[in-house]
Amino acid sequence: MGFFIETMLGGLMTGMLYALVALGFVLIFKASGVFNFAQGAMVLVAALAMARFSEWSNAALGGDSLFLANVIGIIGAGAVMFLVAWAVERFVLRKLVNQEGATLLMVTLGIAYVLEGLGQTFFGSEIYSINVGMPKDPVIMFEGLIEGGVMINKEDFIAAALAAVLVGGLTLFFQKTAIGRALRAVADDHQAAQSVGIPLNKTWVIVWCVAGLVALVAGIIWGSKMGVQFSLVTVALRALPVVILGGLTSVPGAIVGGLIIGVGEKLSEVYLGPFVGGGIEIWFAYVMALIVLLFRPQGLFGEKIINRV
Amino acid sequence: MNMTDTNSSSTAAASAPGRRQGEVILDLQNISLRFGGVKALTDISFNIREHEVRAIIGPNGAGKSSMLNVINGVYHPQEGRIMFRGEERKKMEPHVAAQQGIARTFQNIALFKGMSVLDNIMTGRNLRMKCNIFQQALWLGPALREEIAHREKVEEIVDFLEIQHIRKTPVGALPYGLQKRVDLGRALAMEPQILLLDEPMAGMNVEEKQDMCRFILDISDQFGTTIVLIEHDMGVVMDISDRVVVLDYGKKIGDGTPHEVRNNQDVINAYLGSGH
């Protein structure tokens, strides 16, 4: 029993981290109708910037204050993400108003390569570490309830809590504020949004900034877990089935999708794995996404596609 | 009702009670618009006076929508000047037109389909919201009060257009006629000085058309909004507009009161074919 709960909690926490990356996809899709393939590259760039800026400022400060170095790192990385958002709007999206979704999709592929290249040019392509003082030691909980207790990784727990707060805040921002409404309006119809006076340029910069911020948080968390290296890009690939499962347009969908896939992966690996020789974790998410697509093409929480004929 | 107005139906419409034609608010001078080699508009001049209902009519492909898109800032004519309140208007984006008080509806309905009727109309209040992104994100008092004030205005519009029963419905799920009404509501929420209506009656049945006519006249009477309206159905237009511009193949072939336009030989030819 204790082991089962442990596996499940582990899954939930990993799921929350998937949700965090998935959130980046959903935000941009909601606000511009674009599936942003560059999200993974943004996570990488954000993590690289964070790692290097804090490393440099730590050296400059003589290693006295890791906290201060991290704050400078976060500010520096935030500035880089703002710059990315501004540049993407100024040099790419502005030229592509009212274009087909497929065109925009291909463009984000291009943006991904440019970001990966530039990021590594400026910040280097070694393996770096981010140390934001996350506690690494596991703790035993619920000892009174279950024999032997449940072992929880503190780092995962904090990361999951952070992700949950971010996700909740962004949901409210999108649903309850005037700017959130304007962002949704732009996603729905460029022309109509302009006709009521919503400036597309500003809106896109805001959205890409928010997505950059989410990428930064994801980059810091994943980066401090697995080290900052090129393979961070693949984190985005893990979030792909999450977005499909939860629905491209739904922030809560990203969370629930992340949790389902996180838990599903871990449980299936532990309980089904032995029968098929393991390795389930790698393909499980995609199969689940596929099954959902069969029954609900818009995902679990996506907006129902209404077509009048 | 004034006794003299009942003499002929066309003059009655031309000087409908309570409607005053004010100063020229928008003056279009020698507008020409080309797409590559295709001439969409050729040397068109006409003006729009404050508070009037101004119709632009013409057969399909006459350039009516292009004209509207010029006024709205979507298209930029290669030649000609647009004077807005006596000042020449520079080349601009549609959202700047919105800031200047020009609202529009769309021929093919461009609503935010996934959003509720209320949210759709609320987007029309966007320009009037003054709180910045941080106040909104943190739900500070001013942002909340602002939201409530604008919501009240939106409810007034919902009442005005008689769409109370569908307030929370996603617009994508509504029948066509109601979507048209929401489209109008969103434009109205901007409290525009000039309201551009792109074929507001297209594809509607007789009852829906009558409703729409009633709303257009009510808007004109109650708010004094200047209305520019595109239609290819002549009958409806003649009853509700003060002045009519007629386009055919991108050229202006008639301009005047509905009565004058109706008796214009070029207009008759364009609509019925020159054989008649």
Residue B107 lies in a domain: no
**B23 plus B138 within the same structural domain:** no
Boundaries of domain holding A115:
2-234
Give the pLDDT of residue B14.
43
Where is pLDDT greater, at A95 or B55? B55
What is the secondary structure of chain B as a DSSP string? --GGGGS-HHHHHHT-TT----SEEEEEEEEEEEETTEEEEEEEEEEEETT-EEEEE-STTSSHHHHHHHHHTSS--SEEEEEETTEEPPS--HHHHHHTTEEE--TT----TTSBHHHHHHHTTGGG----HHHHHTT-HHHHHHHHHHHHHHHHHHHHTT-GGGTTSBGGGS-HHHHHHHHHHHHHHT--SEEEEESTTTT--HHHHHHHHHHHHHHHHHH--EEEEEES-HHHHHHH-SEEEEEETTEEEEEE-HHHHHT-HHHHHHHH-TT-
CB A192 within 8 A of CB A185: yes
pLDDT band (50, 70, 90) for residue A8:
confident
Residue A302 lies in a domain: no
| Residue A103 Cα distances to A88, A91, A199, B27, B127, angstroms | 15, 15, 21, 39, 30
- pLDDT at residue B64 above 60? yes
- Using the 3D structure, point to which of B191, B224, B240 is the last residue of a domain: B191
Boundaries of domain holding B119:
112-191
Residue B106 lies in a domain: no
Q: Kindly report the nearest CA distance between residue B78 and chain A, in angstroms.
A: 21
- pLDDT at residue B134 above 90? no
**B123 plus B156 within the same structural domain:** yes
**B272 plus B163 within the same structural domain:** no
Contact residues on chain B for A178, CB-CB shorter than 8 A: 122, 125-126, 129, 131, 136, 143, 146-147, 150
Question: How many Cβ atoms from other residues are within 10 Å of residue B119's Cβ?
Answer: 21
The secondary structure element, H or E, covering residue A138 is strand A138-141
pLDDT tens-digit readout, B194-240: 999 998 888 888 888 889 999 999 999 888 899 999 987 777 788 88
Lowest mean pLDDT across A140-149, A162-171, B104-113, B179-188: A140-149
pLDDT tens-digit readout, A107-122: 999 999 999 999 989 9
- pLDDT at residue B11 above 50? no
**B258 plus B153 within the same structural domain:** no
Our count of domains for chain B comes to: 2
Cα A118 to chain centroid, rounded = 20
**B197 plus B97 within the same structural domain:** yes
Give the pLDDT of residue A118.
93
pLDDT tens-digit readout, A9-28: 888 888 888 888 888 888 88
Our count of domains for chain A comes to: 1
pLDDT band (50, 70, 90) for residue B6:
very low
The two three-digit tokens of residue B213, written as one number: 């006519």
pLDDT band (50, 70, 90) for residue B19:
low
Average the pLDDT over A60-88 and give the result.
Answer: 88
Question: How many Cβ atoms from other residues are within 10 Å of residue B274's Cβ?
Answer: 9
CATH number, domain at B261? 3.40.50.300
pLDDT band (50, 70, 90) for residue A42:
very high
Residue A77 lies in a domain: yes
**Chain B residues contacting A, CB < 8 Å?**
72, 74, 93-95, 98-99, 103-104, 106, 110-115, 119, 122-127, 129, 131, 133, 136-137, 139, 143, 146-147, 150, 170, 172-173, 176, 186-187, 189-190
Give the pLDDT of residue A185.
86
